Amino acid sequence: MDSVVDPLSTVARHTPITRRLVAAFGAMFLLGLLVAVAALFNIAQKLDEEDVRKTLFYTERALENRITASKNYIASYTYWTTAYEHLNGEVDVQWAYAEQNMGKTLFTKDGYEGVFVIDRERTKYAVVLGQNVQGDAASYIDTPLQPLVEKLQGQADLTRPVISYTLFNGWPAIVTASVILPNDERPRVDAKGTSVLLFVDQLTPTKLRKLGKSYGLTDLTLKRDTELAPDRPAVPLDSTGYSLVSHLQQPGHQLLWSLLPPLGGALLILALLTAYFFRYALRTARHVDASYDRLQLSTLALEASEERFRAVAEAASDWIWEIDGEQRITYLSGRFNTVTGFSDQQWLGQDIEQLLYCDTTPIVHWLGKLTEEQSTGNLRCSYRDYSGQLRFCRVSARPIYDKAAVVGYRGTASDITDEVAAHAQVQHLSLHDALTGLPNRNKLARYLDDALVAKEHSAPLTLLMVDLDNFKPINDSLGHPAGDAVLLEVAQRLRDSTREQDLVARLGGDEFVVVLNGMDSTTEIDRFCARLIDSLQQPIHYETHSLHIGASIGIAVSRRQGYIPGELIRCADIALYQAKSEGKKTWCYFASQMNDQIQHRRQLENDLRQAVKNREFVLHFQPRYTVDGSEIVAVEALVRWQHPTQGLLGPDAFIPLAEQTDLIVPLSHWVLREACETALTWPGELMVSVNLSPAQFQRSDVVEDVRKVLIETRFPASRLELEITENVMLNDVDGALQVMNDLKELGVRLNMDDFGTGYSSLGYLRTYPFDGIKIDKRFIASMSNSSNDRAVVQAIINLGKAMGLTVTAEGVETQAQLGSLGSDECHEVQGYFLSRPIDKQAFAQLLNSGRPLLKTAS
């Protein structure tokens, strides 16, 4: 019997221990529960704090990056010789606004609500919401501007932009300001005399929403400081009274809300189970022991899962990894599959370096340096996901200890692919031209810096500065969409013409740069330029138009012009200037004497600008006679410049320059008015001839200009003759026809000048409303050389007559020429042989002498 164990007595024997155990367990369980709940709240609070910290961090980052981008952007405008020249004195509004160098697109494309050029005293140029306005910047911007200008001008490094926050039209905005400087090698400019460019970037709700989105911020907005809760994370915008705030995600709150109900349920079940367990625990000691074992196990499991849970909670959207001492992956959380597309089974047991790659430091090396205290280091890694796409993650890690020894690491990987992409996007925008997508001035500068860093050991570079001919007229007459289409096509052709190692950049307007890497043999460059010019000459189709442009190229070669990027650009620019003045559609290598020529040209341009202001011009008059020399039929007005130091300059010295700048418009205006006013003083009904420049047709409303002068001087239109070369028709055939018909309607006469020097003149003659032609003096000069040349002149005379036109021969220098023209029955003659161009007084005398006859006849 003794051997029979009474179960009850066993229970009785074990009861005190079991009870104690059960009581202890109960207390422990309760305590554990309390600790777990406290830990949960603690985690939730930490998460919320982290969220606040991150939100604030990204809000600051977003603002900072916007400011940096704006600073970079403004620098590409302010550190630019062309801008300096057009903006520093009187602002050249035509250049800045009409030619879009600093006009509407700064608003429509770049989002600047305000663009201002100011100096210490005044606002010189203002574009508000894309419109050129006559206003004071201070009436839009509430920050005092004078201290800003003084601060900028007082900086040791004048090229550094400065930003400030302000209210613009009452709404917070970032003002980026920078001094406008030349980026060429000229003597230092006087800081106090410089102008300042302001870019105003209003922080509108739409812009902020977009900005926030790229930083993962929901609802990035502005709030008045007075409306802000004291603990609300916000980035203040200084004195504007506003701060940037973003919606808080409060992941801790979310966690509590999502965990507490199931946890409550689980606790209830646990409580029921415990009660159940209590009942049965008292029955058998074995059960108790077994339960005890199980309890131990489940407590352990709880501990482990709590630790994992903590890790999960710390980074809810990340995946978690663990590796052992040999860097073999031992654990990957469920998110791994969602984010990477791999199943964890594919990677468990593999070396972590197979999965993740860091380009700055080997992961193992980085892990080795981690200690418990500074376990928060992050490493940016990349990997290819299941679909082969490159992704980026920020890896954090902490060691796993067994006793004191590190037996592995555990950590999280947060996916930052979008963040990296957004950053790259910002980076891209600041380095590329928005219209064509080509690298911009900034990118070019970086590229050259890198390529030339090794000086004479770097590969030879050739820098081509490409400028389009005839782009502005297209932009002006067909509008900006047409201009944009041309620029896009040009960009494509440039890309197509270059190799992978070359760079094509757009500097703005119609200026492009091509850098040929590793090429500097003249034969190769010549071949390249010829091909490029040919490609750019092919017509560009836009809507129903077939547009013709050309290009001129200036070339600088690193092996000859040196390894300083700015210097190369400057040299290429000078060479371009030369190419243009050599008649466009050509290329030109930099040569050191060009420096002086350019200096001279620049000087001349400045002088000419002054001359137009000071009216330093005079007209000379050259009569045109009937072929028998018996009568003056008309007088041609020819302009001269009374240069303050160089004396009397002929039109060939300055008309081409005036045509390249806008000076041709006021100059021609003066000529026309002066000619009409002078002609009014002559006796009789003598006709006056005035030359028109093709450039005028593109840059001003010729018909309106002529009408105005006729009305204001009360000069009869029937006494005015306009001389136009056929170049006028080359650019815009239909437009020119319209203008000439309109001119005819005013009642003036039209003469085609320099007939025979252009091409397809005959076609033009038939279509256009000319009254006469002037045979170019080259034909007259060569007439006596060969019978063939004389035959050409005869043919032109006959042709003109057949079309009912008055035919004039110009450049008649000899009696023999006059004789031939007489027998060929040319109508009228003009030339040194009859009279040189003479000034106003001399011509008045000629008329008064009553001998308007041939020198020889007198």
Q: Which residues bind ligand C2E (CB under 6 A)?
A: 622, 638-639, 650-652, 655, 668, 671, 691-693, 723, 753-754, 777, 811-813, 830-832, 837
Stretch that binds Ca ion, among 612-620, 752-760, 778-786, 842-850 (CB under 5 A): 752-760
Least Å distance, CB 470 to ligand C2E, is 19
Distances in whole angstroms, Cα of residue 34 to Cα of each of 30, 121, 423: 6, 72, 45
- Please report whether residue 808 would count as binding Ca ion according to CB under 5 A: no
- Please report whether residue 721 would count as binding Ca ion according to CB under 5 A: no
Which CB sits closer to Ca ion, 367 or 634? Answer: 634
DSSP state of 95: I
Least Å distance, CB 113 to ligand C2E, is 42
Least Å distance, CB 811 to ligand C2E, is 4
Of ligand C2E, Ca ion, none, which one does residue 629 interact with (CB within 5 to 8 Å by kind)? Answer: none
Looking at the DSSP assignment, which residues form a beta bridge with residue 397? Answer: 411
Closest CA to 545 of 607, 479, 593, 604: 479
Q: What is the C-alpha to C-alpha distance for residues 126 and 763, in angstroms, rounded to an integer?
A: 47
Angle between helices 733-746 and 702-713 (to 10 degrees): 10
What order of strands is seen across the sheet that includes strand 196-202?
A: 131-133, 123-128, 114-118, 196-202, 171-179, 162-168
In 10 A of CB 44, how many CB atoms?
Answer: 21
Q: What is the C-alpha to C-alpha distance for residues 447 and 501, in angstroms, rounded to an integer?
A: 11
Least Å distance, CB 651 to Ca ion, is 10
Which CB sits closer to ligand C2E, 510 or 726? Answer: 726
Q: What is the C-alpha to C-alpha distance for residues 49 and 56, in angstroms, rounded to an integer?
A: 11
Of Ca ion, ligand C2E, none, which one does residue 658 interact with (CB within 5 to 8 Å by kind)? Answer: none
Which CB sits closer to ligand C2E, 498 or 668? Answer: 668
DSSP state of 651: G
In 10 A of CB 397, how many CB atoms?
Answer: 23
> H-type helices in 479-564, by residue range?
480-497, 522-537, 558-561
Of ligand C2E, Ca ion, none, which one does residue 172 interact with (CB within 5 to 8 Å by kind)? Answer: none
DSSP state of 839: E
**Cα torsion angle, 309, 311, 312, 316, sign:** positive
The only residue of 502, 754, 824, 828 in contact with Ca ion, by rule CB under 5 A:
754
Least Å distance, CB 183 to ligand C2E, is 34
> H-type helices in 768-850, by residue range?
777-783, 787-802, 815-823, 840-848
Of ligand C2E, Ca ion, none, which one does residue 288 interact with (CB within 5 to 8 Å by kind)? Answer: none
Which CB sits closer to ligand C2E, 203 or 675? Answer: 675
Which CB sits closer to Ca ion, 48 or 723? Answer: 723
Which CB sits closer to Ca ion, 489 or 721? Answer: 721
Phi first, then psi: what are they for 219, rounded to 5°?
Answer: 60, 50
- Please report whether residue 723 would count as binding Ca ion according to CB under 5 A: yes
Least Å distance, CB 85 to ligand C2E, is 24
Contact partners, residue 161, CB within 8 Å, separation at least 6: 70, 71, 74, 75, 78, 176, 177, 178
Which CB sits closer to ligand C2E, 162 or 730? Answer: 730
Least Å distance, CB 641 to ligand C2E, is 10
Least Å distance, CB 765 to Ca ion, is 16
Q: What is the C-alpha to C-alpha distance for residues 470 and 453, in angstroms, rounded to an integer?
A: 37
Least Å distance, CB 669 to Ca ion, is 18
Which CB sits closer to ligand C2E, 514 or 639? Answer: 639
Which CB sits closer to ligand C2E, 245 or 655? Answer: 655
Stretch that binds Ca ion, among 332-340, 510-518, 591-599, 685-693 (CB under 5 A): 685-693
Of Ca ion, ligand C2E, none, which one does residue 837 interact with (CB within 5 to 8 Å by kind)? Answer: ligand C2E
Of Ca ion, ligand C2E, none, which one does residue 342 interact with (CB within 5 to 8 Å by kind)? Answer: none
Which CB sits closer to Ca ion, 105 or 782? Answer: 782
The only residue of 322, 415, 662, 753 in contact with Ca ion, by rule CB under 5 A:
753
Residue nearest to Ca ion (CB): 723
Least Å distance, CB 765 to ligand C2E, is 18
Of ligand C2E, Ca ion, none, which one does residue 201 interact with (CB within 5 to 8 Å by kind)? Answer: none
Q: What is the C-alpha to C-alpha distance for residues 657 and 628, in angstroms, rounded to an integer?
A: 38
- Please report whether residue 691 would count as binding Ca ion according to CB under 5 A: yes
Which CB sits closer to Ca ion, 691 or 693? Answer: 691
Distances in whole angstroms, Cα of residue 199 to Cα of each of 114, 161, 173, 360, 701: 6, 11, 10, 37, 33
Which CB sits closer to ligand C2E, 99 or 754? Answer: 754
Question: By three-state DSSP, how is residue 826 classified?
Answer: coil
Q: What is the C-alpha to C-alpha distance for residues 580 and 300, in angstroms, rounded to an integer?
A: 85
Q: What is the C-alpha to C-alpha distance for residues 202 and 222, in angstroms, rounded to an integer?
A: 11
Least Å distance, CB 86 to Ca ion, is 32
How big is the CA angle at 135 (ends 134 and 139), to the nearest 5 degrees? 170
Least Å distance, CB 818 to Ca ion, is 17
Residues that bind Ca ion (CB under 5 A): 691, 723, 753-754
